[in-house]
Amino acid sequence: MFDLARSIDAHQDSTEGTSERAIAGVTTGLIGLNDEVTWEARHLGLRQRLTVRVTEFNRPQHFQDIMVAGAFKSMKHDHEFLEHPTGTQMNDRFEFQSPIGILGKIVDQLFLRAYMERFLVHRNVILRKLAESKEWSRYLAQV
């Protein structure tokens, strides 16, 4: 599951509805420590770009990416993988701040936090389906 979660190709295939695609940096294969990727996607009706860098990497338990350019004031995404009696448990911790001070905090609380949570949960459901089927091999044949 760890490698599937860092697959650029699986990420693109798991974000249906946002037309998310990697346009710069690592644009295919697996992302690793100090690698960057620039994503272009449509969120909330707006085309946006977000560049992230992998800043922590401890295979197969954890990796972290942080925003280096994009619409947020700040963004940090931790991906944690724990042994579980039924397989692997994946936990996401996604922290962000919108720009524009107090107005951004209001927007975060009113709808953006819920939107981002739905987006990540939906993406993780798809990753889980991939991991529990033979489809994972499309993304990890080179591992």
- Local confidence pLDDT in tens for the 143 residues of the chain: 899 999 999 999 998 888 899 999 999 999 999 999 999 999 888 899 999 999 999 999 999 999 999 999 999 999 999 988 888 899 999 999 988 888 888 888 889 999 999 999 999 999 999 999 998 998 997 65
The pLDDT of residue 18 is: 87
The pLDDT of residue 48 is: 92
In the chain, what are the domain boundaries? 2-140
35 contacts: CB under 8 Å, gap ≥ 6: 25, 26, 53, 54
* Rounded-to-integer distance, Cα 40 and Cα 37, Å: 10
97-120 core/surface letters (b: 16 or more CB in 10 A; e: else)? ebeeeeebeeebeeebeeebeebe
The CATH architecture that domain 2-140 belongs to is: 2-Layer Sandwich (3.30)
Query: Which two structure tokens, joined as six digits, stand for 76?
Result: 């940090």
Supply φ then ψ for residue 131, to 5 degrees: -65, -35
pTM metric for this prediction: 0.90
The pLDDT of residue 143 is: 55
